[in-house]
Amino acid sequence: MKAHDGIYLDGAWRPAASRDVIEVVDPADERVIAQVPAGGAEDVDAAVRAARATLPAWAATPPAERAARLAALRDVLTARKDEIAETVTAELGSPLAFSQAVHAAVPIAVAASYADLAARHPFEEQVGNSTVLHEPVGVVAAITPWNYPLHQIVAKVAPALAAGCTVVLKPAEDTPLTAQLFAEAVHEAGVPAGVFNLVTGLGPVAGQALAEHPGVDLVSFTGSTAVGRRIAAVAGAAIKKVALELGGKSANVILPSADLARAVNVGVANVMSNSGQTCSAWTRMLVHRDRYDEAVTLAAAAAAKYADRIGPLVSAAQRDRVRGYIEKGVAEGARLVAGGPESPRERGWFVAPTVFADVTPDMTIAQEEIFGPVLSILRYEDEEDALRIANGTVYGLAGAVWAGEEAEAVAFARRMDTGQVDINGGRFNPLAPFGGYKQSGVGRELGTHGLAEYLQTKSLQF
């Protein structure tokens, strides 16, 4: 795979000050496919300085011109979509069809939405005798995970640029090639030098230096709750703004009136896609006791269909972690009805599509985020019981409700402590705010709510 041996700084690829490197591995066959710099504090400092220096000019650029650059970025991403899909498949391991349909296509839709929003957003409003100006927050530190490598980047960088902010990106160490491709696209789109900068590197080194840097005004982080907590503490001490998209343990609530087969099949597909490495995946399926056995049979059959279709997990560490959870589920008394901890293949970090029945709310696999292709099916007695189970974790990122009538599902969804709920299999909407209640995060991404994270207000009184 093609890789740059520098960092993208102030509009050009330049050698990193740090001599350390990251080896990029293909999770499907465990082969090293490329090498990129592991930037250090000096590299982060140079990138933040570049972003700071160019901030006044970019902040003063008319929104229509910022929108034009985002439209150009959308067009470059569209022109290079096959290369994006191939790169994501090489470093994340997802099947090529999924990389094309999701990993390449969704970021194009999100970039397009911000090209549009930047042009139309009211950056000024009248409130009584005041004019309120919505101004860029400043220099943004974007720290992203590997699970949707390009989407996570675009969901931060596009609204930041639309708002007039400048950015330093530290992408996940496992998927730096997609980030380099994105930097090329930003360059091709004619975004001025210094507005966007990329430092590949390790979280505890480059990531931490970036979060701590006094030249950063906002830290926008997506990743684990453990790292998010540390970043929030660092940002809090420096009175920096922070946006956190963290873990999840979302509930798929199947009410007794629902089309059971559809709810189960869509639910299983939701968990197995991207090998379960989706923060918003509905990893807990809640089924009424009268329909429980039928649901378990359907889910086991649905999961088996993914055995040959599923990609590997991103790394050996992630594979081991997921296997550990499967072993824990067995040890705590849950019943395996599909998959299990054994490796389904000789090479590559694969985990079989796994389904647990007889899962109780107190079990580890019902409480902790597994981040692999593992579904837990829980039994409820009545609606109040279902609600208590659905809301009974520290997380609150997403969820689903299925019922015979939409209104019945909506009534239940209103009582869920979670940021997004799909009603009877509702479609993904790139304009809908995405983010967590409780320990799933702080702030929202996508659409106008995502743009607002990168703006601060100034009021002028007349």
Stretch that binds ligand NAP, among 12-20, 62-70, 95-103, 243-251 (CB under 6 A): 243-251
User: Exposed, middle or buried by CB within 10 Å (0-12, 13-18, 19+), for 269?
Assistant: middle
Stretch that binds ligand NAP, among 11-19, 96-104, 203-211, 289-297 (CB under 6 A): 203-211
For tokens 């509702």, name the residue.
Answer: 426
Written as six digits, the tokens of 322 are 């997921």
Residue 368 is a catalytic residue: no
Is residue 39 within the footprint of ligand NAP (CB under 6 A)? Answer: no
Distance CA 454, CA 431 (A): 16
Which of 112, 108, 120 has its CA nearest to residue 63?
120
Position among 99, 144, 252, 273 found at the interface with ligand NAP (CB under 6 A)? 144
Which member of 212, 279, 408, 445 is catalytic?
Answer: 279
Position among 96, 202, 330, 411 found at the interface with ligand NAP (CB under 6 A)? 202
Which member of 212, 245, 369, 445 is catalytic?
Answer: 245
Position among 39, 107, 207, 215 found at the interface with ligand NAP (CB under 6 A)? 207
Question: Under 8 Å CB-to-CB from 326, ≥6 apart: which residues?
Answer: 336, 339, 340, 341, 351, 354, 374
Cβ of residue 156: shortest distance to ligand NAP, in angstroms?
10
Per CB under 6 A, which of residues 374..413 are in contact with ligand NAP?
A: 397
Stretch that binds ligand NAP, among 74-82, 87-95, 245-253, 304-312 (CB under 6 A): 245-253
Is residue 172 within the footprint of ligand NAP (CB under 6 A)? Answer: yes
> How many angstroms from the chain centroid is the CA of residue 356?
25
Position among 110, 246, 263, 264 found at the interface with ligand NAP (CB under 6 A)? 246
Cβ of residue 59: shortest distance to ligand NAP, in angstroms?
26
Residue 23 is a catalytic residue: no
Which positions lie near ligand NAP, rule CB under 6 A?
A: 143-147, 170, 172-174, 202-204, 207-208, 211, 222-224, 227, 230-231, 245-248, 279, 369, 371, 397, 436, 441
**Active-site annotation, residues:** 245, 279
